[in-house]
Amino acid sequence: MLTRAPKGTRDILPAEIGRWQHVERLFAETCRRFGYAEIRVPTFEHTELFQRGVGDTTDIVQKEMYTFPDKAGRSLSLRPEGTAGVVRSYIENGMASLPAPVKLFYMLTAFRYENVQKGRYREFHQFGVEAFGAAGPEVDAEIIGLLAAFFRSLGLRQTSLRINSIGCPDCRTAYHGILRDYLEPRLEGLCRDCRNRFDRNPLRILDCKEERCRLATAGAPALLDHLDPPCRDHFDRLRDALSSLDIAYTIDKGIVRGLDYYTRTVFEFVSDHVGTQGTICGGGRYDGLVEACGGAPTPGMGFGLGVERLLMHLDAQGVPLPVNPGPDLYLAPAGDGARPAAARLAQGLRERGVSVETDLCGRSLKAQMKYAGKIGARRTVVLGDDELASGRVRIRDMATGAEEEAGLDELAGSDVLAALLVAP
């Protein structure tokens, strides 16, 4: 128990951190280019925020939230996603007074008590963006374009974009009647949750993971076929905007998303390697959410991307990802007399930007060289009595075996440092 992480959580070990940092760097860089600024929000919020925001008829709120009372008896929940917290922060910090659109991105952990399987965890990582204050489909297309650019820069292939529209509350009210007519004769076949959802929020039934509910809803009328004219126009213009960006998509009338806040555009990027965890990323428009959480009516649009799933699909496609690089230099003191000088030199080089390792375990010179190989040091320098007396050292390239002589002063000087820093 003590030596086992809780089910559904996992460590990201130093051996894999290079991959994570690579995707984080690329995502942040892509967001910067598209004009998104980073926001960091708390790990937990008042439970009510998620009940109102994500929706209290969703699986996430009904079954998957980590909810607990704090010592003062407030009900708090670990965030099951990023949007609700960002919306709360947008309102609380008066971001409505900033020039619109307000474009934010985040990289965060989220928590859901789910059935654990490959690509489905209880603590997982999401990248996401949220844009506030732009109602037109241009921002929807720009956000999808951001994802396409991110995937391209990563080398991710074989993902399909699926889009749909679930309309506004007006078309949804009309559609709920049509859906109830369809579902009523099938009600007995639905799970207990869905029978409860029938009156409160029948759209949720279309998103139920239970096999019998999926079967019962397979032929249900689609909301996309019942949009009012403004929502239809919004969707048609989104399609035009995607086409002019040369972004391929398919229309999937079955996408309703598992969160209640969506209006109009919804979309998912799905890996072509079919499997239950194929959805790498999902998002859409939420024009009523800011108001529902206590702010002024403000349109919004964004997505959340599962980082574990992204890495899983990059691996499945054999896309090479960087591993942790070894140090630029291993500095080996030969004999105890050289240790203080080696430590001093290492400190100086590190302060100038070179990554340096030196001996901390009292190893022999031979063992140090073995160690330098194991940690992937790119170069080695031996520092012994001779080197200290002559003031000259030999820099050995570990890949080629080539050696280059340099003065000790020179080693700490800019030319040699520059060479170390730019070396492949």
**Residues at the interface with ligand HAM (CB under 6 A):** 81-83, 112, 114, 119-121, 124, 126, 128, 130, 258-259, 279-284, 302-306, 308-309
For the CB of residue 302, give the shortest distance to ligand HAM in the complex, in Å. 3
DSSP 220: P
Closer Cβ to ligand HAM, 90 or 330, answer by number:
90
For the CB of residue 200, give the shortest distance to ligand HAM in the complex, in Å. 20
DSSP 66: -
For the CB of residue 48, give the shortest distance to ligand HAM in the complex, in Å. 17
Nearest to 254 by CA among 208, 207, 290, 291: 207
Say if CB 419 and CB 409 are below 8 A apart.
no
Closer Cβ to ligand HAM, 257 or 378, answer by number:
257
For the CB of residue 226, give the shortest distance to ligand HAM in the complex, in Å. 23
Which residue number places its CB atom closest to ligand HAM? Answer: 306
Coil/strand/helix, residue 231: helix
Closer Cβ to ligand HAM, 276 or 364, answer by number:
276
Closer Cβ to ligand HAM, 128 or 326, answer by number:
128
For the CB of residue 19, give the shortest distance to ligand HAM in the complex, in Å. 16
Phi, psi of 56 (to 5 degrees): -85, 5
b/e per residue 29-51 (b: at least 16 CB within 10 A) = ebbeebebeebebeebbebebbb
For the CB of residue 175, give the shortest distance to ligand HAM in the complex, in Å. 21
Token pair, residue 387, equals 């080197």
For the CB of residue 126, give the shortest distance to ligand HAM in the complex, in Å. 5
Say if CB 342 and CB 333 are below 8 A apart.
yes
Provide the Cα torsion 160, 82, 140, 297; round to 10°: 150
Strand arrangement of the beta sheet that strand 300-306 belongs to: 37-38, 102-111, 123-132, 300-306, 279-285, 263-271, 159-165, 250-251
CA–CA dist 259, 292 (Å, integer):
14
Closer Cβ to ligand HAM, 278 or 348, answer by number:
278
Sorted by sequence, the CB contacts under 8 Å of residue 315 that are 6+ apart come out as 321
Q: Which amino acid appears at position 291 of this protein?
A: E
Using CA atoms, how far residue 129 sits from 20, 142, 322, in Å, is 18, 11, 25
For the CB of residue 108, give the shortest distance to ligand HAM in the complex, in Å. 10
For the CB of residue 344, give the shortest distance to ligand HAM in the complex, in Å. 47
CA–CA dist 87, 54 (Å, integer):
11
Closer Cβ to ligand HAM, 87 or 338, answer by number:
87
Say if CB 329 and CB 380 are below 8 A apart.
yes
Closer Cβ to ligand HAM, 36 or 303, answer by number:
303
For the CB of residue 195, give the shortest distance to ligand HAM in the complex, in Å. 24
Closer Cβ to ligand HAM, 280 or 377, answer by number:
280
Nearest to 213 by CA among 222, 226, 203: 203
Closer Cβ to ligand HAM, 308 or 328, answer by number:
308
Closer Cβ to ligand HAM, 242 or 338, answer by number:
242
Q: Which amino acid appears at position 332 of this protein?
A: A
The full 3-state SS of 288-339, as one line of letters, equals CHHHHCCCCCCCEEEEEEEHHHHHHHHHHCCCCCCCCCCCCEEEEECCHHHH
For the CB of residue 47, give the shortest distance to ligand HAM in the complex, in Å. 17
Say if CB 186 and CB 220 are below 8 A apart.
no
Closer Cβ to ligand HAM, 45 or 387, answer by number:
45
